Each structure stands twice: as structure tokens, then as C-alpha cells.
């Protein structure tokens, strides 16, 4: 059931209460616009796919530019709320930590360029283009009992999927019947093909079948649209309405839902990242501002594990949009002498991303979030200890 979600355009219209002081911020961010992840899309359609000038899964120049703008925007907000000063910060006040992959590492660097221009702020990451264990949402627990529970829940979700219309829309766009996938692998209908759960210790939970095929294809469409490619290059000009985009985007949303978005599985794969966040909030000497740059899988699994209530982001097709940020804020009520939590999802709309709109007072959007077990008041605050008790119980 949806909680109380308000969307704000200007950050200075946020529900700031007199006597409340911002004392700490942790941002969990998704990287910005990247090239498609799948390198063999040509077998999924006889149509000619767009050519990208970087290898698969890399941050694009436009993505870096948008992330730089977002960094500048967030920095202004942090200074407006007096969490940071106008001077260059040190690691006692600002810390940036990114997953090792190029798109996350370079997104973090772009954010820092925008936020702390002419300052020497280090982006911390492992020294290789691989997944950092803190960010890697993999299965670690070898318990057969847990394995059976997770597979059962994944299968129950698969059985309840309602994607037939989305699959039909996609099959028509890609001309599936004339693809190599149909001719050579005999997958000629996503509607009539079953998904198979992939569960392997040390790997991400996954599914093999139409949901995975569809996710790869729609991901390519979405990234092409965000990148600003001509419309005849985005789904070969066949995605002409918001309704069609929403239909296709259901596939990518359900792919994330099946793989990461329920509590038992999420608690398993997000444990290292949640522990890192918990330690930041438990440590009195932690930086005032911490930026964690990861992936949609990180956002989905962390939010599911913590127990965020259902939310909808207006003017977006994705559940965790490119460049979007979950902003966890610790506020101090000086009158009551208590600490409070406020959480917002800050993101740019589909059209803002496509048009390359710079993040300013008029963009992006702020969506008020709520956690089960941490009820918010009329200004969006919940009790800090309620939040910390949830983290400590995970």
C-alpha cells in the first residue's frame, strides 16, 4: 500500500522545519547514463541496432555531464542546509565510495567534479574494473533451507507475472519471429516461453528466459532514449507513445523485482552494503556527507531489505532511474533534543534526461519516502532510533 509521497520541484520547497538542523547525509546513488550491457543484441532482432562509441556498460559522456550537474546541485543543497561550508572539504566531512566498475567509478568522479570543483576530493574504489564485495549483490549463504525459501519466493513471483501484453509489444517491435533467437534457438514467443531461476552461490540471483531477454532489449531502448539518439534509432521508431514505454518498462521493473525486491533475498544480497551504511550512522566520527555510487540492484535490494513502502516516481518509467539518488538524512530537533530521519528519492524525469536538462532549482524532482516501522509525521520525519533499530535488526 502506498505511503505518503510528495514530490517537490525546488529543493528550497522541501519541508524544512524551523529548529531542525541537518547533521549527516548518506546518498546511495545509481550511476548515470551508460551504454547497453548486452553485447549480442543482434541475435534478438534482425533489425540493425544503434552503434555506441564505447564498450558495453560504460558511462557515456552525456551521463558524466548529467552527473556533474547533479553533484553541483546536491552540493548547493548541502551548503544551503549548513551541513558543508563553502570551503573545500576534507575526508572528515566528505567521503565518496564507488563500486569498481567504470560506470560507477566515473559517475562518482563526475559528481565530485560538479560538487567540489577545484577541490582535492578522492573517489575511493577498488583498484580494478570489477565488482566491489560491498556493492556486489550476490548469494553468499550456503544454507539449503535459505536456498529453498528464496527459490520458492522467486518462483511464486514469476508465476504471478502479468507481462503478456508487454511481451507482445516487444515481440512486434523487434520482429522476434525473424530473429536468430527464433530461427536457431526456437524461442519465437516470449509469452509462451518459461523463465528458469538461476541460483548459484557467489553469483547474483537471476532468471534465464524471456524476462532476461526482454530486460536486455528494453534496457537498450531506454539508454538510447536517455542518450538523446534520434527517435528512429530508438526501438526503430516503433515506440511512439507513453503507454508503449510504460508497457515495455514493466519488463525491466519486474526483472529487478524478481531478482532483488523482496525482504528475504534482499537481506541476503544487500548485507555488506547495509552494514556499511549502518556503521556510518553508528560512528560519531563518520563524515558529514557520504556518497555511495552503485547500481539499480543495490538500490532495490537495500530498500527492500530495510522495508521501504511502495512508491511511484512521477514522469519516470524506471523504478530506480539512471542517476537517481536515495538521500538518507539525519536531522536534529533542537527544541526536543532528538534526532530524526528524513528520506527522499531525488531523480530526473525521462524528458529531463533525454534533453540533458541541468539539475537546478527547477529540477530534479524530490519524492518523499517512508519506511515500514518508521512512521513519518506531516513534514516527512520519523524517529531516528526507530530507523536505527531496523538497521540493527537486519
Looking at residue 11, its pLDDT comes to 46
Looking at residue 2, its pLDDT comes to 38
In 67-121, the DSSP E strands lie at 94-98
Instruction: Return d(Cα 287, Cα 91) in angstroms, integer.
Output: 7
* DSSP run (H or E) holding 340: strand 338-347
Looking at residue 6, its pLDDT comes to 55
Coil/strand/helix, residue 53: coil
With a cut of 70, list the residues of the chain below it in pLDDT.
1-17
Instruction: Return d(Cα 208, Cα 198) in angstroms, integer.
Output: 7
Cα within 13 Å of Cα(68), Cβ side? 14
CA nearest to 25, candidates 375, 294, 332, 307 = 332
- Among residues 31, 69, 293, 295, which one is catalytic? 31
Looking at residue 216, its pLDDT comes to 97
The CATH topology of domain 7-138+266-393 is Rossmann fold (3.40.50)
- Among residues 132, 219, 296, 339, which one is catalytic? 296
Instruction: Judge if 7-138+266-393 and 144-260 fold alike in CATH terms.
Output: yes
Q: Are 219 and 38 in contact (CB under 8 A)?
A: yes
Looking at residue 8, its pLDDT comes to 52
pLDDT digits (tens, 9 = 90+) for 317-334: 999 999 999 999 999 999
Looking at residue 3, its pLDDT comes to 42
pTM: 0.94
Say which CATH architecture domain 144-260 belongs to.
3-Layer(aba) Sandwich (3.40)
Question: CA 261 from chain center: how many Å?
Answer: 12
- Is 296 designated active site? yes
Contacts of 308 (CB under 8 A, 6+ apart): 343, 369, 370, 371, 372
- Residue spans per domain, the chain: 7-138+266-393, 144-260
Amino acid at each position: 500500500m502506498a505511503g505518503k509521497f510528495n514530490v517537490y520541484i525546488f529543493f528550497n520547497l522541501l519541508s524544512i522545519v524551523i529548529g531542525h538542523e541537518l547533521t549527516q547525509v548518506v546518498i546511495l546513488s545509481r550511476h548515470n547514463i551508460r551504454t547497453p550491457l548486452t553485447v549480442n543484441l543482434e541475435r534478438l532482432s534482425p533489425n540493425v541496432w544503434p552503434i555506441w562509441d564505447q564498450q558495453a556498460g560504460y558511462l557515456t559522456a552525456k551521463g558524466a555531464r548529467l552527473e556533474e550537474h547533479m553533484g553541483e546541485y546536491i552540493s548547493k543543497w548541502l551548503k544551503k542546509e549548513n551541513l558543508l561550508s563553502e570551503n573545500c572539504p576534507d575526508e572528515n566531512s566528505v567521503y565518496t565510495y564507488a563500486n569498481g566498475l567504470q560506470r560507477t567509478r566515473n559517475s562518482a568522479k563526475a559528481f565530485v567534479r560538479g560538487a567540489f570543483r577545484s577541490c582535492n576530493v578522492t573517489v575511493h574504489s577498488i583498484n580494478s574494473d570489477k565488482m566491489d564485495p560491498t556493492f556486489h549483490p550476490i548469494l553468499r549463504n550456503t544454507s539449503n533451507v535459505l536456498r529453498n525459501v528464496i527459490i520458492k519466493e522467486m518462483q511464486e513471483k514469476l508465476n504471478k507475472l502479468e507481462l503478456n501484453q508487454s511481451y507482445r509489444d516487444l515481440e512486434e517491435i523487434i520482429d522476434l519471429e525473424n530473429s536468430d533467437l527464433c530461427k536457431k534457438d526456437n524461442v519465437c514467443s516470449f509469452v509462451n516461453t518459461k523463465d528458469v531461476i538461476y541460483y548459484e552461490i557467489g553469483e547474483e540471483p537471476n532468471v534465464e528466459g524471456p524476462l532476461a531477454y526482454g530486460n536486455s532489449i528494453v534496457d537498450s531502448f531506454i539508454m538510447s532514449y536517455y542518450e538523446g539518439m534520434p527517435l528512429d534509432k530508438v526501438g526503430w521508431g516503433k515506440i511512439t507513445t507513453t503507454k508503449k514505454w510504460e508497457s515495455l518498462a514493466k519488463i525491466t521493473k519486474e526483472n529487478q523485482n524478481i531478482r532483488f525486491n523482496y525482504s528475504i533475498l534482499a537481506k541476503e544480497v544487500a548485507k555488506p552494503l547495509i552494514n556499511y551504511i549502518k556503521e556510518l550512522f553508528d560512528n560519531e566520527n563518520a563524515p558529514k556527507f557520504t556518497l555511495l555510487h552503485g547500481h539499480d540492484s543495490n538500490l532495490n535490494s537495500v530498500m527492500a531489505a530495510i522495508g521501504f513502502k511502495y512508491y511511484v516516481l512521477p514522469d519516470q518509467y524506471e523504478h530506480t532511474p539512471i542517476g537517481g539518488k536515495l538521500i538518507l538524512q539525519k536531522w536534529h530537533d533542537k527544541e526536543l533534543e532528538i534526532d530524526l530521519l528524513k528520506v527522499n528519492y531525488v531523480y530526473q524525469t525521462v524528458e529531463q534526461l533525454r534533453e540533458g536538462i541541468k539539475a537546478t532549482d527547477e529540477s530534479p524532482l524530490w519524492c518523499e519516502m517512508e519506511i515500514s516501522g518508521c512512521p513519518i509525521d506531516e513534514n516527512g520525519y520519523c524517529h531516528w532510533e526507530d530507523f536505527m533499530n531496523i538497521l540493527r535488526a537486519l
